[in-house]
Structure 1
Amino acid sequence: MSPEPTVSDWFVSSYSGGNNNNCVEVRFTNHGTEVRDTKNRTAGTLAFGTDRWSAFLRALRG
């Protein structure tokens, strides 16, 4: 039996749009990062592997 993956709590991304409700939540897992819409949390998540998430963050920082 394999251990359960470690999952952090969801948190609001620092790159979200502030007070205009354009927010996403992020959490880290053993397999990478998951992202979901704060206005529709049950609609599903986007999952990114560690390499892809790191590349995304580098692109945001320019």
Structure 2
Amino acid sequence: MTSIPDASALTDWRKSSYSGGSSGECLEVDDAARPARVPVRDSKNPTGPALVFPAMAWAPFVGAVKCGDLG
């Protein structure tokens, strides 16, 4: 896993459909143009850092969230 110091340098952010509504627990991902990497940031801090996950690790994580296997 790597990081990007200023996540606002990327432009294709979208909010996760599994993020909390008005409670401020929102993640955004920028998975549009980088099939091998998935940057993830805190929506409350758009100019802060983003963590970059390998797509091979991100896909199983998202699958586990969708199935409810992480709780």
How many matched pairs? Answer: 56
Task: Give the whole-Å Cα distance in 2 for the aligned partners of 1:54 and 1:25.
Answer: 15
Q: Indicate which of 48, 57, 60 corresponds to 2:62.
A: 57
Structure showing greater Rg:
1
Q: Taking every aligned residue pair, what percent have the same amino acid on both sides?
A: 39
- The higher-RCO structure (CA 8 Å, 6+ apart) is 2
Query: After TM superposition, where is structure 1 displaced by more than 3 Å over at least 4 residues in a row?
Result: none
Output the amino acid matched with 1:19. Answer: S
TM-score of the two chains, using structure 1 as the length reference: 0.75
Considering fraction of residues, name the structure with more helix. Answer: 1
In the TM superposition, 1:8-47 aligns within 5 A as 9-28=12-31, 29-47=34-52
Q: Please, which runs of 5 or more residues in structure 2 have no aligned partner?
A: 1-9
